[in-house]
Structure 1
Amino acid sequence: MSTHAAEPAAPAPERRVALVIHGGAGFVPKDALGEEDRREVHATLNRALDAGYAILARGGSALDAVEAAVVVLEDSPRFNAGKGAVFNAKGAHELDASIMDGHTRRAGAVAGVTTVRNPIRLARAVMEHTPHVMLAGAGAEEFADTRPEIRRVPNTWFDTPHRREQLEKAQRAEREKRAAVRDSDSDMPAYFGTVGAVALDAQGRIAAATSTGGMTNKRYGRVGDSPIIGAGTWADERCGVSGTGWGEFYIRYAVAHDICARVAYRGQSLQDAAEEVVNRIVPAAGGDGGAIALDRDGNIAMPFNSGSMFRGWIRSDGSRGTAIHED
């Protein structure tokens, strides 16, 4: 676990705020990350926390905060979103993202975009500048051309050597009929690295956002849970969630919404609701992964059943940290 070095304090908000982020759930053995890699992961998580919390501390919206945090993670090659997105089976990148404002239940999402540098920005543009919730593929990119704030890049801009190596390993394993879903050499789930954020602002509003490159070696056109409202992302007036895991199971069990529904209808605590869905229901169905969740009282839950989950938090009392494994 890492704590952030002391910096000049941001202006204290009138009401307590909170922020929680993730860089994906999966199995990363402790000895698989070198010290330099570990430092860089923690530093990037802290940069994302700083970006989001600076907005919250000056009284800005939870929606702005989650977008800002996710953009930092999308721009890092360390995570499976934006610059570090995995390759599909055709050797290209298809990106998904969604964002939701819990106070109004407005939401926006994009699926299968290939030339948008920051899909989370386009998802928000869909929410704010169209009557729709989701746009996909060529239609989403055509809409991106109408928004001057959306930056387009060649699909190869998302390439990284590490992701290319993952694809080659996955395809070798598939040819040898060993494993189509998992990287057989490392046992790292093929969906590892999805990013997300959930924030509570000084007005008591909650927002959530999620962005991903999907699964290594996925079929062309495959869409997972990240852009699906209620599956990978959810926010309402009580609760917000961003998920990370085997997307097909998160879709089937409406994981993000189910966590918040248990808070609303069962009266469960956020921690109990998140633990039950992520660590009991999803594994029982055959899936794995994790989630970050935040409620209107500033409580944070970060359950995962996959061995590790890159995550960071700033609680309503101002305490903060980042972590990768259980400790």
Structure 2
Amino acid sequence: MTHATTPVLVIHGGAGVIKRDMSPAKEKAVRAAMAKALQDGYAQLRAGKSAMDAVTTAIVALEDDSEFNAGKGSVFTHDGKNEMDAAVMDGESLRAGSVAGLHRVKNPILLARAVMDHSPHVMLVGEGAEAFAKEQGVALVDPSYFRTEERWQQLQKALKEDSEKKPHNDPARASADITKHFGTVGAVALDSQGRLAAGTSTGGMTDKRWGRIGDSPIIGAGTYANAQCAVSGTGWGEFYMRTVAAHEICMKVSMLDEPVQRAAAEVINQEIPSMGGNGGAIALDSDGNIAMPFNTDGMFRGWIGADGVPHVAIYDDEPDPSNHQPSPAEPSSTE
């Protein structure tokens, strides 16, 4: 693709239980971190770099900030460890890289990109992924780097709820379980050459067991890009896997010619909730149209385009480019 395109970058910092009682200091810190990630990523696009460069740069900024459940701010597993996953995908070539079960990689998104760029594989996990990181010169840190007191206390609360042994169909238990499934960062970008890319990074879910892996590192579930569409999801990963959510959104756009806002709303606000899941996503098409559907209290989200100004939103009544999307209640063209 050779025609000039106005670059666009869209990011998210997770969807979920985001209440308006967030302290002013915390809200200010989150908004500032989102703005910085947008500016860092967009600087790549302005310099003529690829959509993939913008995506990885923006996500590194979010991974390095402890406000988000990725990298530095990752949540704890049931065993008291931080365990991280990430993925990237290049829309033009359909190349992808994915990593899961990491404990020592400072920036999982950079390792995911190294898997895409420098290995014959798509997905590496655990000790093998970290051995590959060492070979590639991707920074490794002591696991203590990822510990934050806020995340540790979230685990203690979850362990207390576990010890009360409430049945899984108990409403209080169900509500507590839902809050565990959120916390991801992601980015999608369109560069000046019309190329799309997507990336997602996560610390998983608080109190997870048995090496559970969510949708973020699974190509097609939480992360996907092709020549017409790029998506990064955030939410209850099991449902994004079962619906292959990111891929389905892009197929609606590229194969059915649906507007990206409608396609994303159908999957995120219809299909996933109908199965009992929830969450959000960011999506971008090859014309620079943005979608940011979510069905939770809020979603940390931001975008930057032709004006070069970072825009950040948190709550559902804040304006964003997807506020004018077709209603998800409208009949789907596939029904």
TM score, norm. by length of structure 2: 0.90
Question: In structure 1, which of residues 84, 97, 100 is the aligned counterpart of residue 86 of structure 2?
Answer: 97
1:169–1:185 CA contact under 8 A, matched in 2: no
Question: In structure 2, which of residues 129, 137, 144 is the aligned counterpart of residue 140 of structure 1?
Answer: 129
Question: In structure 2, which of residues 283, 302, 307 is the aligned counterpart of residue 312 of structure 1?
Answer: 302
Superposed CA offset, 1:61-120 (max 9, x none): 000000000000000100000000000010001100000000000000000011000000
1:25–1:244 CA contact under 8 A, matched in 2: yes
1:319–1:48 CA distance, 2 compared to 1 (3 A): closer
Structure 2 residue 32 is matched with structure 1 residue 39: no
Aligned to 1:65: 54
SS at match of 2:255: helix
Structure 2 residue 110 is matched with structure 1 residue 121: yes
Q: Following superposition, which runs of at least 4 residues in structure 1 exceed 4 angstroms of deviation? A: 179-188, 316-319
Distance in 2, Cα, partners of 1:213 & 1:110: 12
Aligned to 1:268: 258
Question: In structure 1, which of residues 136, 155, 169 is the aligned counterpart of residue 143 of structure 2?
Answer: 155
Which residue identity does 1:251 align to in structure 2?
Answer: M
1:204–1:215 CA distance, 2 compared to 1 (3 A): same
Distance in 2, Cα, partners of 1:30 & 1:14: 41
SS at match of 2:139: coil
1:183–1:190 CA contact under 8 A, matched in 2: no
1:28–1:188 CA contact under 8 A, matched in 2: no
Which residue identity does 2:263 align to in structure 1?
Answer: A
The unaligned stretches of length 5 or more in structure 1 are 1-12
SS at match of 1:116: coil
Superposed CA offset, 1:22-78 (max 9, x none): 0000011101x1111111000000000011000101211000000000000000100
Aligned to 2:324: none
Which residue identity does 1:25 align to in structure 2?
Answer: A
Superposed CA offset, 1:178-199 (max 9, x none): 3779888978711322000000
Which residue identity does 1:261 align to in structure 2?
Answer: M
1:86–1:215 CA contact under 8 A, matched in 2: yes
Distance in 2, Cα, partners of 1:183 & 1:92: 23
Structure 2 residue 271 is matched with structure 1 residue 281: yes
Structure 2 residue 38 is matched with structure 1 residue 49: yes
SS at match of 1:279: helix
Distance in 2, Cα, partners of 1:325 & 1:168: 28
- For structure 1, which segment, 312-321 or 54-63, has the greater mean C-alpha deviation from structure 2 after superposition? 312-321
Distance in 2, Cα, partners of 1:213 & 1:67: 16
Aligned to 1:166: 154
Work out the number of aligned pairs and report it.
313
Aligned to 1:205: 195
Aligned to 2:179: 189
1:136–1:311 CA distance, 2 compared to 1 (3 A): same
Distance in 1, Cα, partners of 2:165 & 2:69: 25
TM-superposed deviation, 1:315: 3.1
TM-superposed deviation, 1:311: 0.6
Aligned to 1:237: 227
SS at match of 1:138: helix
Question: In structure 2, which of residues 228, 244, 255 is the aligned counterpart of residue 254 of structure 1?
Answer: 244
1:291–1:303 CA contact under 8 A, matched in 2: yes
Question: In structure 2, which of residues 163, 177, 181 is the aligned counterpart of residue 175 of structure 1?
Answer: 163
Structure 2 residue 219 is matched with structure 1 residue 222: no
1:112–1:183 CA distance, 2 compared to 1 (3 A): farther
Superposed CA offset, 1:152-201 (max 9, x none): 01112101001001101111111112377988897871132200000000
Aligned to 1:108: 97
Distance in 2, Cα, partners of 1:273 & 1:319: 27
2:4–2:193 CA contact under 8 A, matched in 1: no
Aligned-pair identity in percent equals: 55
TM score, norm. by length of structure 1: 0.92
